Amino acid sequence: MDDDEELVLLSALQHYLYCPRQCALIHIERLWAENRQTAEGRLLHERADQPQTEQRHGVRTATAMPLFSHQLGISGVADVVEFRVSTSAQGEQVQPIEYKRGRPKRHRADEVQLCAQGLCLEEMLGCVVTEGALFYGKTRRRKVVVFDEALRALTLDTIQATRALIASGKTPRAEYQARRCDACSLIDLCQPRLLENALAVNQWLAQQLEDSADAPSA
């Protein structure tokens, strides 16, 4: 990336895959609102948000570790990074751990955010990061995520698309989807149902004007 380009936040990748409009509202228009889901997520992150390192049972753990990749133009903070002695090779096995509220999702937004953390660690530490893990508050279990070629490709495409959206400075139009929109903390700021209906009315009016212009005069 060029030196004068700003680094894209890792969280923006998750926001983009969940909803490009949400990503734009947060990272272009600088809007934010909290609901029960985001509050639960914030509480889940509190312990990991305190920078510290500790050693237990041969595993070195770093919390709130700053991450960056100048090559990819991304930056952020990892909730937890674990360093384990590798049994198959020299050095340490590095694994990012991301804390999320709720349960594993149908979409891959959380996995892309985690994979991007792995790509940052590869550049920073000069190693290969093969997998990470997502810890969900509802299940209280880790979900191992393998950074295979498909996920890496999706992550790189998402980084490019997110950067293009933010660089455009334009917020996508509202498209209401109940499953996605009703759970979003920005729904009152976004107003997807109202704006979508307004767009439909504007399109109808434009069509009426076009039909009137094309109609033969009496």
> With left for phi above 0 and alpha for psi between -120 and 50, is residue 64 left, alpha or beta?
left
The pLDDT profile of the chain, 218 residues, written as one tens digit per residue, is: 665 568 999 999 999 999 999 999 999 999 876 555 544 555 555 555 667 888 888 899 999 999 999 999 999 999 999 998 776 656 789 999 999 888 888 889 999 999 999 999 999 999 999 999 999 988 888 999 999 999 999 999 999 999 999 999 999 988 888 888 888 888 888 888 876 665 454 554 555 566 555 555 54
H runs (alpha helix) in 109-177 = 109-125, 149-168
Parse the chain into domains and list their residue ranges: 8-172, 174-213
Top CATH class of 8-172 equals alpha beta
Is 130 in a helix, a strand, or coil? coil
Task: Kindly give, in sequence order, each residue whose CB lies less than 8 Å from that of residue 158, ignoring residues fewer than 6 positions away.
Answer: 13, 16, 17, 112, 116
Of 128, 97, 115, the closest CA to residue 158 belongs to: 115
Q: E strand or H helix at 44, and its extent?
A: helix 36-45
